[in-house]
Amino acid sequence: MVLNKNKPFYKMGKVLFLGKIPSGELSSFISGKFWASGITIDAGTTEEIIRVSRAVPYYTLHLCHEIWSGCTDIKNVPRPAVAEAVGRIVRGLSPMFLSIWDSLALSQRKLLQAMAVSGATDLFSMGFINSYRLGSASSVQKSEALLLAKGLLEKEDGVAVFSDIWFREWIKKKGIYFGGLF
């Protein structure tokens, strides 16, 4: 919004990219914030939060807020609360994701499904392509390029990953993979 010349808040503030926070620091921060509100959270649960959120501050905060909102009547956060919170987040974002999904070509959908289900990093290996019936390497390359251009994928250490982890979870949770496309 602040980087788009066509938006009203263009250059309204300084853009600061936080990047990932080291797991130890993030774990202490999460535990401290829950503790300050009278709720305890064990190390295994904070590790799960960090794993799911990929240690990205925005996703970590979003997930922790959803967990905290769902645990106001208890004093200890159980590990299953993480999956329950992810489910609530994904359900809330579902209309937006469905709109995005409907705008994609079949080849792009299939690639996203395969990535979400498998967690694969080598999208151009013949094993991956054949396992998920993605056609040819050039078809996968074209789909990847289009998904990168649309902002649905991004490169992280040279590997294409979902730009939005909740979109990946939505694809997995909705069972779209089992819709008969593969």
38: which DSSP letter?
T
Q: pLDDT, tens digit, for every residue of 77-120?
A: 999 999 999 999 999 999 999 999 999 999 999 999 999 999 88
How many Å apart are CA 142 and CA 146, to the nearest integer? Answer: 6
Q: Would residue 11 be called left, alpha or beta, if left means φ above 0 and alpha means ψ between -120 and 50 degrees?
A: left
If one counts every other C-beta atom within 10 angstroms of the C-beta of residue 44, the result is 11
How high is the mean pLDDT of the chain? 89
Contact 162, 115 (CB under 8 A): yes
**Would you tell me which CATH number, out of the four given (1.10.1760, 2.60.40, 3.30.420, 1.10.10), belongs to the domain 104-178?**
1.10.10
Question: pLDDT grade, residue 176 (50/70/90)?
Answer: low
The average pLDDT across 170-179 equals 71
Q: Where in the chain is the domain with CATH 1.10.10?
A: 104-178
Distance of CA 79 to the CA centre of its chain: 19
Better pLDDT: 4 or 130:
130
- What's the whole-model pTM score? 0.83
Contact 110, 129 (CB under 8 A): no
155: which DSSP letter?
E
pLDDT for the residue 96: 95
Provide DSSP, 31-45.
HHHHHHTT-EE-HHH
The answer to whether residue 13 scores a pLDDT higher than 80 is no
The strand pair at 159-162 and 153-156 is best described as: antiparallel
Question: pLDDT grade, residue 182 (50/70/90)?
Answer: very low
> Which CATH architecture does the domain made up of 23-95 adopt?
Orthogonal Bundle (1.10)
Q: Where in the chain is the domain with CATH 1.10.8?
A: 23-95
The average pLDDT across 123-130 equals 93
Distance between first and last Cα of the chain? 37
pLDDT for the residue 17: 72
Distances (CA, A) of 65 to 16, 19, 30: 22, 19, 10
Angle in degrees, CA 129, 130, 131, rounded to 5: 95
